[in-house]
């Protein structure tokens, strides 16, 4: 999430009651969780396991719960609870907006686009030309859809990220300050759920088609002309290349990449990144040729066992 204009780090430190370590005159240009930070962004870290990763990231400003010297080019904000401090900033600069109309008055609806009765279009939504939004579809605040996008009934676009911080008393919810951005010529089936980004964008590329009952997690980026069949689930912050095919009930883990033109067969579990241009199957996913060899060997095991018993 980028701020409308740079904000002095001193101001953010005062808002979060944090102690500045490093330059107190620098300006912050945006707010992002660690997987999507850019130069000028502020992020947070609250676990020693991730200190090094965060301190070496592109973030220029880091809210941290340990006093230490600021690395060159970075400013630290010491705070006993970085998650709450970060969440406070996310809510302040991207507050929730409520609407009591089916199509909010701030939404922009493109020429020749049609919104069926009982669909909901939230505040500051941008809908391109020639789109169709079927009944009971819901598009949350700030989302953007390109031209020729079709959203079928009962689909939800822009729901909150499934992102919680475990505390001694339960779970604190991360305020979702991101959006969903959908490019031209995308079709989304019935009953799909697409989460908005934590602080950046969940993105679906041009020409991609989603079957019914697909779930896309927060900050996922899907390339162009992908085919995603029913009941596929893609966990947060994963990257899907161009011309990728995911058949029914494929499960994709968080923070991984699937390369261009990969094909993943039905019910496959994808726990780690996959190279493009290959076909995968299995639990966990392996190349289809490797899987076929494994199955052939398994079929031979009874005969091998009988021979072993006779030795």
For residues 128 and 218, state if they share a domain: yes
Element (H, E) at 296: helix 288-309
Task: Judge whether 48 lies within some domain.
Answer: yes
Residue 221: its pLDDT value, please?
Answer: 98
Q: Sign (positive/negative) of CA torsion 165, 144, 226, 194? A: positive
Distance CA 183, CA 202 (A): 11
Res. 128: pLDDT tops 90: yes
DSSP secondary structure code for residue 170 in this structure: E
Catalytic, out of 35, 215, 218, 225: 218
Which pLDDT tens digit goes with each residue over 202-250?
Answer: 999 999 999 999 999 999 999 999 999 999 999 999 999 999 999 999 9
CATH number for 64: 3.40.1390.10
166 and 235 co-located in one domain: yes
Name which of 45, 102, 95, 98 is nearest 74 in CA terms: 45
6-18 pLDDT, tens digit each: 999 999 999 999 9
Instruction: Give bridge partners of residue 115 from the DSSP assignment.
Output: 133
pLDDT at 291: 87
My answer on whether 171 and 243 are in the same domain is: yes
Residue 298 lies in a domain: no
Strands 108-109 and 27-31: unpaired
> Does residue 311 have a pLDDT over 90?
no
CA 2 to chain centre: 17
> Do 133 and 254 share a domain, yes or no?
yes
Tell me which residue of 87, 106, 89 sits closest to 167, measured CA to CA.
87
**pLDDT, tens digit, for every residue of 185-197?**
999 999 999 999 9
The full DSSP string for 218-281 is TT-EE-TT-EE-TT-EE-TT-EE-TT-EE-TT-EE-TT-EE-TT-EE-TT-EE-S-B-TT-EEE
DSSP for residue 49 = G
86 and 118 belong to one structural domain: no
Q: Do 234 and 161 share a structural domain?
A: yes
Residue 24 has a pLDDT of 86
| Selected residue with higher pLDDT from 129 and 311 | 129
For residue 98, tell me if it sits in a domain: no
Residue 218 annotated to the active site: yes
The answer to whether residue 128 sits within a structural domain is: yes
Q: Check residue 167 and give its pLDDT.
A: 84
pLDDT in tens, 137-157: 999 999 999 999 999 999 999
128 & 216 share domain? yes
Boundary of a domain, candidates 65, 93, 121: 93
CA distance 45 to 56: 12
Q: 53 and 16 in one domain?
A: yes
Write the CATH number for 198. Answer: 2.160.10.10
To which residue do tokens 């067969």 refer? 265
Better-predicted residue by pLDDT, 133 or 293: 133
Q: Do 252 and 151 share a domain, yes or no?
A: yes
Predicted local confidence at residue 296, as pLDDT: 86
> Where do the DSSP E strands lie in 60-128?
61-64, 75-78, 108-109, 114-115, 120-121, 126-127
Mean confidence (pLDDT) of the chain: 95
Choose among 262, 218, 257: nearest CA to 244. 262
What pLDDT is stored for residue 295 in this prediction? 82
pLDDT tens figures, 53-107: 999 999 999 999 999 999 999 999 999 999 999 999 999 999 989 989 999 999 9
Q: Tokens 């060899």 correspond to what residue?
A: 293
Domain residues for the domain of 29 are 2-93
The reply to whether omega before 202 is within 30° of 0 (cis) is no
DSSP 121-161: E-TT-EE-TT-EE-TT-EE-TT-EE-TT-EE-TT-EEEEPP
Give 253-258's long-range contacts (Cβ < 8 A, gap of 24+). Answer: 254/217, 255/35
Same domain, yes or no: 83 and 156: no
Cα torsion 258, 260, 263, 266 to 10°: value is 40
**Residue 173, beta-bridge partner list:** 164
At 113-124, the pLDDT tens digits run 999 999 999 999
- 95-117 in b/e burial notation, b at 16+ Cβ within 10 A? eeeebeeebbeebebbeebebee
Structure tokens of 299?
A: 């079929």
Same domain for 207 and 245, yes or no, is yes
Quick check: is 17 in a domain? yes
Residues 70 and 159 in one domain: no
**What does the pLDDT read at residue 310?**
79
Task: Indicate whether 207 belongs to any domain.
Answer: yes
**So what's the pLDDT on residue 246?**
98
Full-model pTM: 0.90
Q: CA 90 to CA 32: how far, in whole Å?
A: 9
Query: How many distinct structural domains can be found in the chain?
Result: 2
């Amino acid at each position: 999430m980028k701020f409308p204009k740079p904000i002095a780090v001193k101001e953010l430190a005062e808002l979060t009651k944090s102690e500045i370590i490093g330059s107190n005159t620098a300006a912050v240009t945006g707010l992002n969780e660690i997987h999507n930070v850019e130069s000028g962004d502020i992020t947070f870290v609250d676990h020693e396991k991730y200190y090094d990763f965060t301190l070496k990231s592109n973030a220029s400003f880091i809210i941290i719960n340990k006093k230490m010297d600021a690395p060159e080019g970075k400013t630290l904000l010491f705070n006993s609870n970085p998650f709450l401090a970060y969440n406070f900033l996310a809510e302040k600069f991207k507050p929730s907006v409520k609407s009591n109309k089916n199509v909010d008055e701030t939404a922009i609806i493109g020429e020749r686009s049609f919104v069926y009765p009982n669909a909901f279009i939230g505040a500051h939504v941008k809908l391109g030309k020639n789109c169709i939004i079927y009944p009971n579809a819901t598009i949350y605040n700030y989302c953007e859809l390109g031209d020729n996008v079709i959203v079928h009934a009962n689909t939800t676009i822009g729901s909150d990220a499934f992102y919680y911080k475990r505390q001694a008393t339960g779970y604190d919810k991360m305020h979702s300050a991101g959006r969903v951005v959908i490019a031209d010529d995308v079709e989304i089936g019935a009953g799909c759920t697409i989460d908005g980004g934590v602080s950046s964008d969940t993105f679906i590329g041009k020409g991609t088609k989603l079957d019914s009952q697909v779930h896309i997690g927060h900050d996922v980026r899907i390339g162009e002309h992908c085919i995603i069949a029913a009941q596929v689930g893609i966990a947060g912050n994963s990257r899907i290349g161009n011309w990728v095919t995911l058949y029914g009930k494929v499960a994709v883990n968080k923070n991984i990449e699937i390369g261009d033109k990969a094909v993943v067969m039905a019910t496959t579990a994808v726990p780690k990144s996959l190279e493009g241009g290959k076909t995968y199957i299995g639990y966990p996913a392996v190349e289809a040729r490797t899987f076929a060899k494994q199955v052939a060997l398994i079929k031979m095991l009874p005969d091998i066992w009988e021979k072993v018993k006779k030795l």
